[in-house]
Structure 1
Amino acid sequence: MMQVSQEDESVIPTPQLQPLDKHKRVDALDILRGLALVGILLMNIEWFNRAIISLGAHDTTLTGIDHAVGWLIRCFVEGKFYKLFALIFGMGFAVMLLRAKEVGRPFGAWFIRRMVVLLIIGLAHMIFLWGGDILHDYAIAGLLLLAWVSYKKTEDPKAYLKLALMWLMIPIFIVSVGASIFGMFFSEPKYQEMWQNELDIFTVVEQQLENNVEIIPPTNKITEDLDPISAETSSVMPSDEEIREITIADTLEQRKELLADIAEEDAAFMKGNYWEATKYRFSFTGFMLMFAPVMSLVVLMPIFILGFWLVVTEKITKHQEHHSFFKVLTRVGLGIGIPLNIASILIIQHPATAISGVLQGVGQMIFYVGQYLLSAGYLGLVICALNKQKWQKFFSAFSPMGQMALTNYLMHSVILTSIFYGYAGGQYGEISRAPQMLIVLAIIVAQIFLSKWWLNRYRFGPMEWLWRSLTYKKMQTMKL
């Protein structure tokens, strides 16, 4: 997830390579990386204080300023900044590949080692610190990106852009086709009937959960009627009432299982010692890894290719010459992305959405599209600001933080687990959303100053040094 600094080229034991001059560094990438860390921390801090198993679910207990903060974070931060990081990953990959070609250095084996080391770091992070790690997803997607670059049949940058955009449109196309079919075949009476049925089932399930009613399994008669084998010898089809009972029982069981999973995670991080928490994280790692291939292939890969395209077209490396492009990106991304995100969150958090599967699907799809547009708008906004002298000094403060992105990302987990988890500060579930923002502010300010202090004395952050040393299979020079 974190990009290699261009100064890396000076430490590779190859006589062809020379230290890069300061002006050759792509400062925009470091600044973007530092700003993305701020957004990621704003998003992640909630999930050090709540069960990750319910990731993405809105906390309905929030009120007042806590609700306002939670709503704003979900609307303007959630899902936007890890996508921005993915874009930066693709940019960094392209920079490293092009630099390797310039000096005639083999790239594939070196980059594979780099991703394998990142995967190991990510898994260690997920097991020993925090279960919400995303480094392993970036490592897997990075290997896929290398495979794509190795076998791509064209050098035309326009083809990269078309491929990435088409790739991103696949989920939208599939959902749109399904929604169109639904809209064509569900008339108003059918829709009313479906809504009433969903409402009835939701009401019964909520009442039974409130009363802590035990799940009543379906009767043998209903089970036999639904069994395809017994159906061969029985012409009796289950009635609507019997199907309703089965649906209620299944829904109630699923809800209770989710509540039990949340309670198990809460107990591991509220009451357990470090060993108990680590055992839970180890078991949770298997659950998270099931989603890694889909996350890497469906979400990250097309964004990586977009980042690759931004570099090979020199739009990011010479962004001053492409100001009009980023200006349009800002206007379109923010102009459309902000209304879409606001609309989607209003739909998703409406009480009716908890009942209606259709509303859930509509809200989530609008949110999905809005995330990409707003991420693009943020990118354009920052680059446009960097093209103006008065903003350069402000944003340059985030550059050292971005150069030490891996170290700073992992330090977020060290700091926040020390505050929230039961084996340390014991504040799990105790600090609400608004005060969490003060913690974020303190961490970001500290990391801005500490990163600058560190890089005035050393060439890399501590974890960046470890990553490079393992990648190059040689201890790297640390001091300037």
Structure 2
Amino acid sequence: MPVNKDHSQTSIHPQEILPLQPLEQNKRVDALDILRGICLVGILLMNIEWFSRSMVSLGSHDTTLTGIDHAVGWLIRCFVEGKFYKLFALIFGMGFAVMLLRAKEHDRPFSAWFCRRMLVLLVIGIAHMIFIWGGDILHAYALAGLFLLFLVRKKKSQEPESYLKLAINWLMIPIFLISLVGIIFGTLLNHEKSQEMWQNELDIYAAVNQALSDETQVNTAPEITDQSVLETTDDSIDLAITEEEYRATIIADAIQDKRELQAEIAEEDKAFTEGSYWEATQYRISFAGFMLILSPFMSFFVLIPIFILGFWLVITQKITHHQQHKTFFRTLATIGLFAGLPLNIASILIIEHPAIEASIALLCVGQMLFYISQYILAAGYLGLIICALNKKKWQKLLSAFAPMGQMALTNYLMHSVILTSIFYGYAGGQYGEISRAPQILIVFSIITGQLIVSKWWLSRYRFGPMEWLWRSLTYKKVQQMEL
């Protein structure tokens, strides 16, 4: 049966993969829910830092950390950062495939229903971003989900291999572009030119830091005031200004950029330490505008190809019948862990080296390696978890995460409610007061509570509260909540 009625051939047979493969014959444990639950732990470990630290600095390492706080921050960056939201995106693609194939088997309309589902998720995500926490990712998932539907419906070839090739090629686009820039950079700069460039970067870095620490130097820094110089075309700029004036311009621009960043951080810190709920919400509204501009790029270059990989894992039955694909997941775990971990370590050591602050080239190299290593290690985690699910001694332990994963939307949003209540000035007022190591205790407490509450809730109700709302709005009908 084809996925798209417009196409007559396909290798996808929904009747073969409708049920997810149970871990035990007498007890259904959804592997996707277990994966979702585990991903929530990783996402919380990563996100908690940004409830107590400026979102403007997102992605940067906190250089003020020392001792156990530094160790915890470093380990989270190495083992967690960037891995679990990608793994969660993979599960999103898996879920899409399962829903699509079930709809095709029962001859139910899917496109309109799924569009409503994504639009409701988009609204929930934007509301979350404005009224609770600015770091929402749900809206980006919704945008990517809509495009995934369009792609699957319009794609000519429905062969599973074509989806794998498409996803890999798509993921390679940013890596290829960055590599191309690196090749050009490497061929144009010999050792002598590299030394000269490095010395110039050090001089400018030192001058900027000195100027920022000494207001007098900032006020007396060289400035270009000659309008004829400022209006000079790019072709003649080297002839129009002296080397000293050009350097002064670079320094002045760098100083201005750092001052603007410091001002933005101070504005956000003030909103979440001194502001009322309404003042914090006003800041989140302004920040949401920035996030909504970036979200389509993240959806297109990062989320969509991962969704396609998740789709491929279902239509090839690798995840739905994982017990029959043990070799695949063992290979995934071995390569992912043994290749991804050293690459992660190397990239972070580069990124956190002090020379990074002065060298754009080193920063780009470190970030590219970190970007690639996130995918590899995330794949290793997937393989490791599935391998564990195929062993009886791990099944009972990991199955505890299934109820938490079944209520993933509710639990994700509750993370924000709990943490803003702890950290933000209009509630607990602990913003910037709880360091990285104690934050882990908060994560442990939240996860323990959600494991218990989720199991209790689902023993009495069919859905989590937000899942019920999402489902009701999607079907345009109030859904039965009680079992």
Q: TM-score normalised to the size of structure 1?
A: 0.93
Alignment partner of 2:81 out of 78, 81, 87: 78
Structure 1 residues 142 and 241, CA gap change in structure 2 (3 angstroms)? same
2:228 paired residue number = 224
Give the letter for the 1:218 counterpart: E
1:251 alignment partner in structure 2: 254
Q: Is 1:118 the counterpart of 2:121 in the alignment?
A: yes
CA distance in 2, matches of 1:21, 1:96: 12
Q: CA deviation at 1:208?
A: 1.2
Specify every segment of 5 or more residues in structure 1 that has no aligned partner in the other structure, as ranges.
1-18
- Match for residue 104 of structure 2? 101
Aligned AA (2:80): V
Give the SS at the match of 2:240: coil
For residues 194-343 of structure 1, the aligned pairs below 5 Å read 194-213=197-216, 214=218, 218-221=223-226, 224-228=228-232, 236-343=239-346
Residue 220 of structure 1 aligns to which amino acid in structure 2?
T
Q: What's the CA shift for 1:211?
A: 1.8
After superposition, the Cα gap between the structure-2 partners of 1:356 and 1:449, relative to the gap in structure 1 and judged at 3 Å, is: same
Please tell me the root mean square deviation across aligned C-alpha atoms, in Å: 1.8
- For the residue of structure 2 that corresponds to 1:431, the secondary structure is coil
Correspondence for 2:4: none
Shift of 1:217: 7.6
Check conservation: 1:225, 1:231, Cα contact below 8 A. Answer: no
Q: Which residue number corresponds to residue 449 of structure 1?
A: 452
Cα deviation 1:290-321 (Å, max 9, x = unaligned): 10110000000100000000000000000000
* Correspondent of 2:429 among 426, 429, 432: 426
Alpha-carbon separation, structure 2, partners of 1:336 and 1:135: 30
Letter in 1 for 2:33: D
Q: Does 1:66 align with 2:74?
A: no
Distance 1:28 1:191 in 2: 51
Deviation at 1:225, TM superposition (A): 2.6
Residue number in structure 2 paired with 1:15: none
Size of the alignment, in residue pairs? 460
Q: AA paired with 2:60? A: A
Letter in 2 for 1:219: I
Residues 451 and 22 from structure 1, CA distance in 2 versus in 1: closer, same or farther, beyond 3 angstroms? Answer: farther
Native 8 Å contact 2:208 2:251 kept in 1: yes
Give the superposition deviation at 1:231: 7.6
> Is the CA contact (8 Å cut-off) linking 1:226 and 1:238 kept in structure 2?
no
Q: Is the 8 A contact 2:337 2:381 kept in 1?
A: yes
Counterparts of 1:282 and 1:404, CA distance in 2 = 27
> 1:172 offset after TM fit, Å?
1.0
Contact 2:272 2:424 in 1 (8 A): yes
Residue 11 of structure 1 aligns with which residue?
none
> Take 2:145 and 2:28, find their aligned partners in 1: how far apart are those partners?
22
Partner Cα separation in structure 1 for residue 379 and residue 230 of structure 2? 49
Q: Percent identity?
A: 68
* Alpha carbons 1:91, 1:304 under 8 Å: kept: yes
Relative distance call for 1:189 and 1:174 in structure 2 (3 A) is same
- TM-aligned CA deviation for residue 280 of structure 1: 0.4
Aligned partners of 1:26 and 1:317 also within 8 Å:
no
CA contact (8 A) 1:459 1:478 kept: yes
1:381 aligns with 2:384: yes
- Please give the alpha-carbon distance, in whole angstroms, between the structure 1 residues aligned to 2:423 and 2:150: 40
Structure 1 counterpart of 2:229, one-letter code: D
1:344–1:364 CA contact under 8 A, matched in 2 = yes
Residue in structure 1 matching 2:93, options 90, 95, 118: 90
Query: How far does residue 347 in structure 1 lie from its aligned partner after superposition?
Result: 0.2
Q: Distance in 2 between matches of 1:337 and 1:455?
A: 36
Report the AA paired with residue 121 of structure 1. I
The reply to whether residue 417 of structure 1 matches residue 420 of structure 2 is yes
Structure 1 contact 341–366 (Cα < 8 Å) conserved: yes
**Is the 2:232–2:240 contact (alpha carbons within 8 Å) kept by the matching residues of 1?**
no
Report the CA distance shift for 1:25/1:53 in structure 2 as closer, same or farther (over 3 A).
Answer: farther
Q: Distance in 2 between matches of 1:224 and 1:205?
A: 26
* Equivalent position SS for 2:44: helix
Question: SS state of the match for residue 241, structure 1?
Answer: helix
1:340–1:367 contact (8 Å) kept in structure 2 = yes
Provide the C-alpha distance between the structure 2 equivalents of 1:165 and 1:47, rounded to a whole number of angstroms: 31
1:179 match: 182
What code does the residue aligned with 1:88 have? I
The answer to whether 1:191 aligns with 2:214 is no
Q: Are the counterparts in 1 of residues 29 and 402 from structure 2 also a CA contact under 8 Å?
A: no
- In 2, are the aligned partners of 1:269 and 1:428 still within 8 Å (CA)? yes
- In the alignment, what sits opposite 1:42? 45
> Higher mean Cα deviation, 206-215 or 163-172?
206-215
Which whole-Å CA distance do the structure 2 matches of 1:176 and 1:59 have between them? 28
Describe the superposition over 1:48-101 as per-residue Cα deviations: whole angstroms up to 9, x where unpaired: 000001001100000000000000000110000000010000000000000000
Query: Quick check: 2:21–2:30 contact (8 Å CA) kept in 1?
Result: no
Deviations 1:380-405 (A, max 9, x none): 00000000000000000000000000
The residue that corresponds to 2:397 in the other structure is 394
